[in-house]
Amino acid sequence: MYLMSKTIEYKYKKVSSSVTPKYNVKNPNKPSGTNVKVRISSKKYFSYAKSTSNFIKRYGKAPNYVKISKNKRMQYQTAIYLFSSVLSYNFLKKKLPSNRYISVKKSHSMNKYIPKFTRSSKTKSIPNHNSIWVRAEHMNSINLKKISESGIGNIFIHEVAINKYGKTKVIKWAKSAAQKGIKVHLWIQCFYEKGKWINPVNTKTKSYNYAYFNKILKKIKTYSKMNYIAGIQLDYLRYPGTAYKYRYSNGVTGEKAITKFVQKVYKVINTYNPNIIISASVMPETSSNSYYYGQNMPKIGKYLDIITPMIYKGNYGKNTAWIKSTTQWFVKNSGGARIWSGLQTYVSDNNPKALSTSSLHTDCLSAINGGAKGIALFRWGLTKLFNFLKL
In a structure prediction context, what are the per-residue pLDDT tens digits for the chain, which is 391 residues long? 889 999 999 999 998 777 777 766 888 989 999 999 999 999 999 999 999 999 998 888 999 999 999 889 999 999 999 999 999 999 899 999 999 999 999 999 888 888 665 444 455 767 789 999 999 999 999 999 999 999 999 999 999 999 999 999 999 999 999 999 999 999 999 999 999 999 999 999 999 999 999 999 999 999 999 999 999 999 999 999 999 999 999 999 999 999 999 999 999 999 999 889 999 999 999 999 999 999 999 999 999 999 999 999 999 999 999 999 999 999 999 999 999 999 999 999 999 999 999 999 999 999 999 999 999 999 999 999 999 988 8
pLDDT score, position 248: 98
Distance CA 311, CA 21 (A): 34
123: phi then psi, degrees, rounded to nearest 5? -95, 0
Let me know whether 104 and 126 are in one domain.
no
Report helix, strand or coil for 99: strand
Q: Rg of the chain over CA atoms, in angstroms?
A: 25
Is the backbone peptide bond immediately before 379 cis, with ω within 30 degrees of 0? yes
pLDDT score, position 391: 87
Let me know whether 96 and 149 are in one domain.
no
Let me know whether 41 and 160 are in one domain.
no
pLDDT score, position 123: 54
- Mark residue 27 as left, alpha or beta (left: phi above 0; alpha: psi -120 to 50; beta: remaining): beta
**Are the C-beta atoms of 276 and 303 separated by less than 8 Å?**
no
Q: Please give the residue range of the domain that contains residue 48.
A: 2-112
Half-sphere exposure of 20 (CA within 13 A, CB side): 2
Let me know whether 371 and 240 are in one domain.
yes
Last residue of a domain, one of 112, 145, 180: 112
pLDDT score, position 108: 92
Which parts of 123-269 are beta strand (E)? 130-134, 154-158, 183-189, 192-193, 196-197, 201-202, 207-208, 229-235
Report the Cα–Cα distance between both ends of the chain, in Å, rounded. Answer: 35
Let me know whether 149 and 290 are in one domain.
yes
Let me know whether 247 and 361 are in one domain.
yes
Let me know whether 65 and 202 are in one domain.
no
Count the domains in the chain: 2
Let me know whether 128 and 99 are in one domain.
no
Angle between helices 210-224 and 254-272 (to 10 degrees): 30
Torsion angle defined by CA atoms of residues 224, 266, 62 and 108, in that order, rounded to the nearest 10 degrees: 160
Q: What is the DSSP letter of 303?
A: T
pLDDT score, position 160: 98
Last residue of a domain, one of 112, 131, 148: 112
For residue 284, give the CATH number of its domain.
3.20.20.80
Report helix, strand or coil for 302: coil
pLDDT score, position 114: 80
**Are the C-beta atoms of 108 and 24 separated by less than 8 Å?**
no
Which parts of the chain are beta strand (E)? 36-41, 65-67, 73-75, 99-104, 130-134, 154-158, 183-189, 192-193, 196-197, 201-202, 207-208, 229-235, 277-282, 306-309, 338-344, 346-348, 351-354, 374-378
Distance CA 129, CA 307 (A): 12
Let me know whether 217 and 275 are in one domain.
yes
Let me know whether 64 and 127 are in one domain.
no
Distance CA 84, CA 372 (A): 34
Q: How many residues does the chain have?
A: 391
Last residue of a domain, one of 112, 132, 148: 112
Let me know whether 140 and 276 are in one domain.
yes
187: phi then psi, degrees, rounded to nearest 5? -95, 115
pLDDT score, position 309: 98
Report helix, strand or coil for 178: helix
The amino acid sitting at 389 is L
Let me know whether 49 and 95 are in one domain.
yes
